[in-house]
A and B are shown apart, each in its own frame.
Chain A
């Protein structure tokens, strides 16, 4: 029982990281109807950005909340700039191209970031600097609640609440929802879809940046291919919750994080990566719109 509670805590902590990345997928899909395969590599670049910032400012010498904030902000900045560049250079020229071409471009951008990253940062894993001290806040028998788990949860919940506010309470959010519903009608009503799409990429990438620092803090080993697997899982989470649906992404990510933790704990860790795809295939076959998604009928 105590083991189970511990796994529950770990699973929620993992799930909230997945949620931050899944939100980026779901936002871009909601507005452009495309899977941004490069999203997970934006996350990787964010981790490296934070790594180099920490090194340049000597942050590893004094861990604490302040240095966490600096790293979060710098990683968000790096990611948003990269997201903006990708949108501008690779996706915007293909705005009206067939879907297959956009998909292939997205895979190309993803591979370019991964292997360009290997050329730039080196293929060997680096150790992420210690941002905060990890200590046990609360323990009950074998169950330990560590400060990292709390930090991850608090930061990601704050980021998600911020996103919620942005989408449902601000004018920009209203414009985003308008473009997502119908870009051409939105442009007739005075919304510039290009700007809104670019803004969506910025927001999604910034969330990936937050996720990258949290992962770097919890699992302090970063390498240029780190985005591949976590990106797949975050994407599965987005599909599971209903892609394009912000709340669904969070729900799906929590389910993914918990089920993965349970599979590792009670079955075998080798099946860990196959689980995500198993869930994906099951959900696409039985409920293609996801748990919270809406069915849409294709019109001719």
Chain B
């Protein structure tokens, strides 16, 4: 059964069926949560490519998300070349445009800064994220600090959900296939030992830039989805905290595990809602306290994260099949 999910079409059908349940069985509040989960899944998976597979620490992911979100916001309010019935198609095209815009930004950011390592790279990407945010604050065309309102969205939950699922699967299978290709081997070799990789003829800077560009493409798409789902964006949606959120998901899920990122995205997005009664009782926003504490504890007790480098399919092979045989 689990093998079926390795087929994009079958898994699309499976996840769409799950969406149908949410469409009819749950209220709007939970449906909105599901949409946010899909955005975060996309963010976590794309960041996983850089942080998990390539071993470079990026803290500016929110900046790329912001570029994507603003691109879609501008495009879908100003350019209406398709009739209203084909809204989904035009949104799809805008999402690709957002991704390309973010990827271009990723290329410009990555080319100079990816020669740096570890801590410095983290700080520089953080800096670029902040610079993007400050520039957006100063752009009156895009609303400046007031934000960008009235972004057209989908008419109902199921449309939004299917759109998001389509992009998640595109992202998942793209990264999946890339990681099985020679590029993917290059990414992994950069993570394991950069000097050794360089000396065996891997163009390490090139590999890092490729990973970075691909990652920022999907972050831009995540931003586009976010813009359509909330209908309103402003620069303060894309702060340092948003980047840290994505990092938390990647780290908790396991650096180098796609399904781990998805699980962590679901967990991290729904946890604060589950904690809402506790928050009302104590009157304090405990969400970030718990996140940060769990981040420290995970690093000390289980540095690999929940899944390590395994995928859920590997676990299936390891435990379920074995028990069936015995």
Binding site for B on A (CB under 8 A): 34-35, 90, 93-94, 97-101, 103-105, 107-112, 114-116, 118-119, 123, 228, 232, 235, 239, 270-271, 273-274, 276-278, 280-281, 284-285, 288, 298, 300
A119 with B286, Cβ < 8 A, contacts A100-B118, A108-B292, A270-B138 known? yes
B288 contacts partner chain A, Cβ-Cβ < 8 Å: yes
Residues of chain B within 8 A of A98, CB atoms compared = 303
Contact of B195 among A110, A273, A277, A300 (CB under 8 A): A300
Report the Cα distance A271→B288, complex, angstroms: 28
B288 and A280 form a contact (CB under 8 A): no
The 8 A CB mask of B105-142 against A (1 = contact, 0 = none) is 00000001100101110111011101100110110000
Give Cα A103–Cα B59 distance, bound, in whole angstroms: 11
Q: 1/0 per position for B37-58, CB-CB distance to A under 8 A?
A: 0000000000000010001010
A274–B120 touching, CB < 8 Å: no
Q: Is the CB of A111 within 8 A of B291?
A: yes
Interface flag for B274 (CB, 8 Å)? no
Additional pairs, 12, CB under 8 Å, beyond known A239-B123, A274-B131? A103-B122, A104-B295, A105-B296, A108-B296, A108-B299, A119-B285, A228-B240, A277-B130, A280-B127, A281-B112, A281-B127, A281-B128
- 13 of the cross-chain contacts (CB-CB < 8 Å) are A35-B123, A103-B57, A103-B119, A104-B247, A105-B299, A107-B295, A111-B291, A112-B293, A235-B123, A273-B134, A278-B131, A285-B112, A300-B196
- A244 CA to B240 CA in the complex, in Å? 26
Residue numbers in B under 8 Å from A99 (CB-CB): 118-119
Inside 8 A of A108's CB, which chain B residues have their CB? 292-293, 295-296, 299
Q: Kindly state whether residue B2 has any CB partner on chain A within 8 Å.
A: no
C-alpha gap A288/B117 in the complex (Å): 11
Interface hits, B291-307 → A, CB 8 Å: 291-293, 295-296, 299-300, 303
Asked if B137 and A270 sit within 8 Å, CB to CB, the answer is yes
* B131 & A109 in contact (Cβ 8 Å cutoff): no
Q: Across the two chains, which residue of chain A brings its CB closest to B145?
A: A270
| Chain A residues positioned under 8 Å from B135 (CB to CB) | 274
Q: Give every chain B residue within 8 A of A277 (Cβ-Cβ).
A: 126-128, 130-131
Which B residue's beta carbon lies closest to that of A116? B289
Known A112-B289, A112-B293, A281-B124; contact A274-B134, beta-carbon cutoff 8 A: yes
CB-based contact B299/A119 at 8 Å: no
Q: Which of A94, A105, A108, A118 gathers most chain B CB within 10 Å?
A: A108
B251: Cβ under 8 A from any A Cβ: yes
Distance of B304 from chain A, by nearest CB (Å): 9
Are B113 and A111 touching (Cβ within 8 A)?
A: no
A161, B203: Cα distance in complex, Å: 47
Residue of A nearest to B122 (CB): A103
Interface of A is mostly: helix
Beta-carbon contact of A284 and B113 below 8 Å: yes
Given contacts A277-B127, A277-B131, contact A119 B292 (CB under 8 A): no
Q: How far is the CA of A97 from the CA of B296 in the complex (A)?
A: 13
Q: B32 on the interface (CB 8 Å rule)? A: no
Q: Which residues of A contact B18 (CB under 8 A)?
A: none
Cβ B123 vs Cβ A280 within 8 A = yes
Instruction: Considering the complex, give the chain A residue whose CB is closest to the CB of B286.
Output: A119
Q: Contact: A115 with B285, CB < 8 Å? A: yes
Docked pose: A114 CA to B51 CA in angstroms: 24
Whether B123 contacts A107 by the Cβ 8 Å rule is: no
Q: How far is the CB of A104 from chain B (nearest CB, A)?
A: 6
With a CB–CB cut-off of 8 A, which chain A residues contact B303? 97-98, 101
The answer for the CA separation of A98 and B191 in the assembled complex, in Å, is 12
B244 interface residue (CB < 8 Å to A) = yes
B284 at the binding interface (Cβ < 8 Å): yes
User: Distance (Å) between the CB of B150 and the closest chain A CB?
Assistant: 25
| Contact yes or no, B113 A114, CB < 8 A | no
A276 to B134, CA, bound (A): 12
Q: Which of A103, A107, A274 contacts B244 (CB 8 A)?
A: A107
| Across-interface contacts of B59 in A (CB, < 8 A) | 107
Closest chain A CB from B244 CB (angstroms):
7
| B315 CB → nearest A CB, Å | 23
Knowing A104-B247, A277-B127, say if A109 contacts B296 (CB, 8 Å). yes
Among B122, B247, B287, B289, chain A packs the most CB atoms within 10 A around the CB of B289
Whether A101 contacts B299 in the complex (CB less than 8 A), given A119-B284, A281-B113, comes out as yes
Residues of A within 8 A of B118 (CB): 99-100, 103
Taken residue by residue from 223 to 265, chain B's Cβ proximity to chain A (1 for < 8 Å, 0 otherwise) reads as 0000000000000000010001001000100010000000000
Q: B306 CB to closest chain A CB, in angstroms?
A: 14
Give the residues in chain B near A280, CB-CB below 8 Å: 123-124, 127
CB distance from A291 to the nearest CB of B (A): 16
Residues B244 and A111 in contact, CB atoms below 8 Å apart? yes
Instruction: List B contacts of A107 (CB < 8 A).
Output: 59, 244, 247, 295
A-chain residues with CB within 8 Å of residue B138 when the two chains form the complex: 270-271
CB distance from B248 to the nearest CB of A (A): 9
- For residue B256, give the distance in angstroms from its CB to the closest CB of chain A: 11
CB of A172 to closest CB in B, whole Å: 26
With A94-B300, A115-B289, A284-B113 already in contact, the answer to whether A298 and B195 are too (CB < 8 A) is yes
* Among A93, A105, A281, contact of B295 (Cβ-Cβ < 8 Å): A105
CB-defined contacts of A105 to chain B, threshold 8 Å: 295-296, 299-300
Q: Which of B84-120 contact A (CB under 8 A)?
A: 112-113, 116, 118-120
CB proximity of A298 to chain B, nearest CB, Å: 7
Residue of A nearest to B304 (CB): A101
B116 nearest in chain A by CB position: A284
Residue from the list A109, A270, A298 in contact with B292, Cβ < 8 A: A109
CB neighbours (8 Å) of B119 from chain A are: 34-35, 99, 103
